[in-house]
Chains A and B, each alone.
Chain A
Amino acid sequence: MSFVLGRLGQTVLVLLVAAFVSFSLFRYVGDPVNNMVGQTASLADREAMRAALGLDDPFVVQFLRFVGQALQGDFGISYRYGQPVSTLIAERFPATLELALISMLIATGLGVPLGVWTALHRGHWFSQVLLAISLIGVALPTFLIGIALILTFSVWLGWLPSFGRGQVVDLGWWSTGFLSWSGLRALVLPSVTLGVFQLALIMRLARAEMLEVMRADFIRFARARGLRPRAIEYRHALRNTLVPVVTMIGLQFGNVFAFSIIVETVFQWPGLGLLVIQAIQFADVPLLAAYLVLIALCFAVINLAVDLLYVAIDPRVRTSGAIRRTA
Chain B
Amino acid sequence: MRLPVLLTTALTALFVAASPAFVPAPAAAADSGKEFRYAYRVDPASLDPHALAETFTLSWLGQVYEPLVGRGKNLELVPALATSWEQVEPTVWRFHLREGVKFADGTPFTADDVIFSLQRVKKDGSDMAYTVASVTDIKKVDDHTVDLIMAKPNPILPVQITSTYMMSKDWAEKHEATSPSSVKAKVENFATTNANGTGPFMIESRQAGVKTVLVPNPNWWGEKESNVSKVVFTPIQSDATRVAALLSGEVDMVYPVPQQDVARIESAEGTEVLKGSELRTMMLAMDQHRDELLNSDVKGKNPLKDKRVRQAIYQAIDMNAIKDRIMGGTSHIAGTMIAPGINGYDPKLDTRAAPYDPEASKKLLAEAGYPDGFSFTMDCSNDRYVNDERICQAIVGMLGRVGLKVTLNAQTRTKFFEKVLARDTSFAMIGWQPLSYDAHSTLQDTMNTPEGKVGTYNVGNYSNPKVDALTQKIEVEVDPAKRNAMIFEAMTLDKEDYGHIPVHQAGIAWGVRKGAHVVLRSDDSLELKWVTVD
Chain A residues engaging chain B, CB cutoff 8 angstroms? 28-32, 34-46, 49, 52-53, 76-84, 88, 91, 106, 109-110, 113-114, 117, 120-121, 124, 126, 147, 150-151, 153-155, 157-165, 185, 188, 192, 230, 233, 265-268, 270, 274-275, 277-278, 281-283
Whether the Cβ atoms of A278 and B209 lie closer than 8 Å is yes
Q: With A77-B187, A77-B188 in contact, is A159–B20 under 8 Å at CB? A: yes
The docked-state distance in angstroms from the alpha carbon of A278 to that of B250 is 23
Whether the Cβ atoms of B248 and A52 lie closer than 8 Å is no
CB neighbours (8 Å) of A35 from chain B are 413-414
CB neighbours (8 Å) of B130 from chain A are 38, 40-41
Within 8 A of A (CB), among B148-198: 181, 183-184, 186-189, 192-193
B456 at the interface (CB under 8 A from A): yes
Q: With A40-B435, A110-B11, A155-B244 in contact, is A275–B452 under 8 Å at CB? A: no
- Closest chain-A Cβ to B188's Cβ sits at a distance in Å of 6
Q: With A40-B435, A113-B10, A270-B209 in contact, is A46–B421 under 8 Å at CB? A: yes
B295 at the interface (CB under 8 A from A): no
B325 at the interface (CB under 8 A from A): no
The docked-state distance in angstroms from the alpha carbon of A28 to that of B411 is 11
Whether the Cβ atoms of B20 and A53 lie closer than 8 Å is no
B27 at the interface (CB under 8 A from A): yes
Instruction: Give the most central of B241, B242, B247, B456: most A CB within 10 Å.
Output: B241
CB neighbours (8 Å) of B4 from chain A are 117, 121, 124, 126
- Closest chain-A Cβ to B495's Cβ sits at a distance in Å of 23
B481 at the interface (CB under 8 A from A): no
CB neighbours (8 Å) of B415 from chain A are 28-31
Whether the Cβ atoms of B414 and A82 lie closer than 8 Å is no
The docked-state distance in angstroms from the alpha carbon of A270 to that of B211 is 9
Whether the Cβ atoms of B27 and A158 lie closer than 8 Å is yes
- Closest chain-A Cβ to B263's Cβ sits at a distance in Å of 15
Whether the Cβ atoms of A34 and B414 lie closer than 8 Å is yes
B334 at the interface (CB under 8 A from A): no
The docked-state distance in angstroms from the alpha carbon of A267 to that of B250 is 13
Q: With A158-B249, A277-B237 in contact, is A37–B127 under 8 Å at CB? A: yes
Instruction: Tell which of B49-57, B342-350, B401-409 binds the partner.
Output: B49-57
The docked-state distance in angstroms from the alpha carbon of A163 to that of B210 is 11
Whether the Cβ atoms of B208 and A83 lie closer than 8 Å is yes
Among candidates B208, B234, B421, residue contacting A34 with C-beta atoms closer than 8 Å = B421
- Among all A-B residue pairs, the 7 with the closest Cβ atoms: A38-B53, A30-B414, A31-B418, A42-B453, A30-B415, A270-B210, A159-B20
Whether the Cβ atoms of A30 and B241 lie closer than 8 Å is no
Q: With A41-B127, A159-B25 in contact, is A265–B238 under 8 Å at CB? A: yes
Q: With A114-B11, A158-B27 in contact, is A153–B209 under 8 Å at CB? A: no
CB neighbours (8 Å) of A230 from chain B are 3
Q: With A30-B412, A83-B188, A151-B244 in contact, is A38–B237 under 8 Å at CB? A: no
Whether the Cβ atoms of B234 and A268 lie closer than 8 Å is yes
CB neighbours (8 Å) of B236 from chain A are 163, 268
- Closest chain-B Cβ to A23's Cβ sits at a distance in Å of 17
Q: With A160-B23, A268-B241, A274-B209 in contact, is A77–B53 under 8 Å at CB? A: no
- Closest chain-A Cβ to B462's Cβ sits at a distance in Å of 16
Closest chain B residue, CB of each to CB of A151: B244
CB neighbours (8 Å) of B441 from chain A are 40
CB neighbours (8 Å) of A267 from chain B are 241
- Closest chain-A Cβ to B80's Cβ sits at a distance in Å of 21
Please, what's the 1-or-0 string for B199-241, where 1 marks a CB less than 8 Å from any CB in chain A?
Answer: 0000000011111000000000000000000000011111011
Whether the Cβ atoms of B452 and A44 lie closer than 8 Å is yes
Whether the Cβ atoms of B188 and A82 lie closer than 8 Å is yes
B30 at the interface (CB under 8 A from A): no
- Closest chain-A Cβ to B527's Cβ sits at a distance in Å of 21
CB neighbours (8 Å) of A80 from chain B are 45
Whether the Cβ atoms of A113 and B7 lie closer than 8 Å is yes
Among candidates A29, A46, A161, A163, residue contacting B414 with C-beta atoms closer than 8 Å = A29
The docked-state distance in angstroms from the alpha carbon of A295 to that of B248 is 35
Q: With A30-B414, A275-B209 in contact, is A40–B445 under 8 Å at CB? A: yes
